[in-house]
Amino acid sequence: MKLKSVTLLASLLLCTAAASAQEMQRIEIFGEYSYLRFNPTIPQFHNRSFNGGGGGATFNITSYIGIKAELMGYGSTNWSATFSGPVVTPHGSIPAGTYSTSANMFTYLFGPVIRIPFSHFHPFGEVLFGGSNSNGYANVIKTINANGGTITAVSSTSGTQHPFTMAVGGGMDFPVGHHFSLRPLEVDYVLTRYTNPFTSTNNQNHFRYSAGFVYRF
């Protein structure tokens, strides 16, 4: 009798574990459109809009905690600034005039995700760390110097930079069937640490909005 009871209990535990494993999909793959409001921290070069997108994957450790990896690319956007008079900076001078150039950006971020799997929607929060790269500051220097400027770039601003980058935020997923979800909203604060050749500020604070779809398996 005892053997039958133990066998029945073990069977129930195995069935419960199997049902739980089926309920939680271990891997999520997502694709997103992404908008980044970039703040270059150069007074004459105001905030710029980057449009792009990308994707990545989340490995779910439990129903509530996962590890996310994402890659986002942003197409070239125009930068333009007008200097009414000559400007002297710690790294050289900028003649009066209007300067226009372009820049792109790419981010690669990794980190933990916490979510609450309600039956009809899944809110989540995330803290992601990694890096990014952009040719924006180097292109600005080249454009100014090509028009008579004397900006001397330090080594970290002479080409594409790859600084520390962080994103903190969250969003909402809405399941559509067993494997698909729609992600209409993901909002993040993004910090980058590009070396600014014109001022002493090396931290840039940005806003990011993303939306897309999720496939779970």
Q: Is 11 a residue whose pLDDT tops 60? A: no
pLDDT (average), residues 142-156: 79
Specify the range with the lowest mean pLDDT, choosing from 7-16, 17-26, 139-148, 178-187.
Answer: 7-16
pLDDT (average), residues 208-217: 96
> Distances from the Cα of 87 to the Cαs of 39, 127, 146, in angstroms?
21, 39, 16
- The per-residue pLDDT for 155 is 56
For the purposes of burial, counting CB atoms within 10 Å of the CB of 144, is it exposed (0-12), middle (13-18) or buried (19 or more)?
Answer: buried
Tokens of 215: 């496939």
How far apart (Å, rounded) are the C-alpha atoms in residues 178 and 26?
13
Q: Is 200 a residue whose pLDDT tops 70? A: no
**Residue 34 one-letter amino acid:** S
Task: Quick: pLDDT tens for 13-26.
Answer: 334 434 444 456 79
pTM of the model: 0.83
- The per-residue pLDDT for 30 is 97
- The per-residue pLDDT for 23 is 57
- The per-residue pLDDT for 15 is 44
More confident residue, 87 or 207: 207
- When the pLDDT of each residue in the chain is averaged and rounded to a whole number, the result is 85
Q: Report yes or no: 57 and 29 within 8 Å, Cβ to Cβ.
A: yes
Local confidence band at 91 (pLDDT 50, 70, 90 cut-offs): confident
Q: Report yes or no: 185 and 173 within 8 Å, Cβ to Cβ.
A: no
Local confidence band at 139 (pLDDT 50, 70, 90 cut-offs): confident
Task: Quick: pLDDT tens for 109-132.
Answer: 999 999 999 989 999 999 999 999
Phi, psi of 62 (to 5 degrees): -135, -175
Q: Which CATH class for the 27-216 domain?
A: mainly beta
How far apart (Å, rounded) are the C-alpha atoms in residues 61 and 25?
10
Task: Quick: pLDDT tens for 25-67.
Answer: 799 999 999 999 999 887 777 788 999 999 999 999 999 999 9
Per DSSP, the residues of 94-150 read: E-SEEEEEEEEEEEEEEEEEEE---SS-EEEEEEEEEEEEE-HHHHHHHHHHHTT--
Residue 63, classed as helix, strand or coil, is coil
- The per-residue pLDDT for 2 is 45
